[in-house]
Amino acid sequence: MNRPPALTPWPLRDLLGRAVVELDARGAIFDLPAGKWHRPPDGVDLADTVGGHVVGTPLGPAAGPHTQLAQNLALSWLAGARTLELKTVQVLDELEIPRPCIDMAAEGYNVEWSQELRLDESLSEYAKAALLIAVLRAWEPVRAAVGEPGGHVFELSCGYDLAGVRSAPMAAFLDRLGDARTAVDAQRREVPRPLAALRDVEVPARLCTGATLSTFHGCPPGEIEDIVRHLMTRHGLDVTVKLNPTLLGPDAVAAILHDRLGYHDAALVPQAFAEDLVMDRALELVARLADFARAQGRRFGVKLTNTLVVANDRGRLPGERAYLSGAPLHVLAATLLAELDARLPGRLALAGRPGGEVPVSFSAGIERGNAAEAVALGLGPVTVCSDLLKPGGYGRLSGMLRRLGDEMRAAGCADLAAWRA
């Protein structure tokens, strides 16, 4: 089998040049029609607070193959994403990704990993995306279509072990992400002549103030704590730790996945449960890191959930293991949320939990039918991956936001505080 060509990002001048021509000719940008762009609904305010920043909506893309190129991040913003989780980066940046690596025919399976770009290319793409969104936001035809879009934030996603996160290449990447003025300014000269008046549009010097941490399956809890402490103290980042559905234990997962939901062809991998963090240690980790973050003047949260390791015996993807996402993961993650809330009374920042200090981000099978309910629970940000990889792409996100606005209006809720009350 021939090796697929390397992923090659488009220059900003080509992206913006295409946007100018495409909007004039077809009323779309990057194939997303203006009718699918998000415009704040009348009568309700979807603004939320994420990591101390006020953002225009509570939804956004989870880290995935759709968040590593600038045009895809811009598409997510047009569709209403206001927390944009960047594709996970790690020190090993010359990976050979097997093809095909994603199967979204029904529930989701994948065998992909982290970024397909070099670290310096990832930094360039994220700086390009920040400027691209800033230009689109200030461009009069777009502004007329989307109204007042509200704020947005980029969320770093990184992994996978302490040695990698502390390595010199990752340290340099994180430092440059923390002060991205040079990287952004290098993109400004790429703004084409029709948009030259927007070349100096404001872009924050710091692209990310928060990071979501993914770790290897089997990463010891002490090492997870050390990574979080390092990101907080060395790089000044708020940190969210992504937890695995294996915390429920093999019996509970099998009962939900096979007996209750009927996904009998998703065979569990016992070794994944033996290797992963167990519930008691996870509870200790959350409590200690919440205390540490408070002492450091930083924020600590958890994200539910990572994908579930299953046997890769469907004959569609290469390798022995695959990672399950989509609808079945939603039920597992919701069950894990209930368990954590019961075992950490008063600590999770959920609706009806005054004083909760640990925010819970959620990304597991979010789609049009359940996004509004997830927001009502006080989860935030609520992020999406599998559903956006299906036909319609980012246009599906604007549909979720329209439904959220409709449900809030029908319930007489003017803002998210009322929706969560």
pLDDT in tens, the chain (421 residues): 456 778 899 999 999 999 999 999 999 999 999 999 999 999 999 999 999 999 999 999 999 999 999 999 999 999 999 999 999 999 988 878 888 999 998 899 999 878 899 999 999 999 999 999 999 999 999 999 999 999 999 999 999 999 999 999 999 999 999 999 999 999 999 999 999 999 999 999 999 999 999 998 778 999 999 999 999 999 999 999 999 999 999 999 999 999 999 999 999 999 999 999 999 999 999 999 999 999 999 999 999 999 999 999 988 999 999 999 999 999 999 999 999 999 999 999 999 998 999 999 999 999 999 999 999 999 999 999 999 999 999 999 999 999 999 999 999 999 999 999 9
Distance of CA 40 to the CA centre of its chain: 21
CB atoms within 10 A of CB 282: 22
What is d(CA 248, CA 251) in angstroms, rounded to the nearest whole number? 8
Residues 12-419, CATH architecture:
Alpha-Beta Barrel (3.20)
SS3 category, 335: helix
What is d(CA 172, CA 175) in angstroms, rounded to the nearest whole number? 5
Return the ∠ at Cα 371 (arms to 366 and 372), rounded to 5°: 170
Return the ∠ at Cα 288 (arms to 287 and 293), rounded to 5°: 100
Which residue in 406, 359, 348 sits closest to 383, CA to CA? Answer: 359
What is d(CA 61, CA 382) in angstroms, rounded to the nearest whole number? 8
pLDDT, residue 71, reads 99
What is d(CA 233, CA 165) in angstroms, rounded to the nearest whole number? 13
pLDDT, residue 1, reads 47
SS3 category, 33: strand
What is d(CA 130, CA 163) in angstroms, rounded to the nearest whole number? 29
Contact 57, 48 (CB under 8 A): yes
Q: What is the dihedral of CA 356, 360, 366, 368, to 10 degrees?
A: 40
pLDDT, residue 2, reads 59
pLDDT, residue 94, reads 80
Tokens 């010891």 label which residue?
220
Contact 325, 365 (CB under 8 A): yes
Contact 402, 41 (CB under 8 A): yes
Contact 50, 83 (CB under 8 A): yes
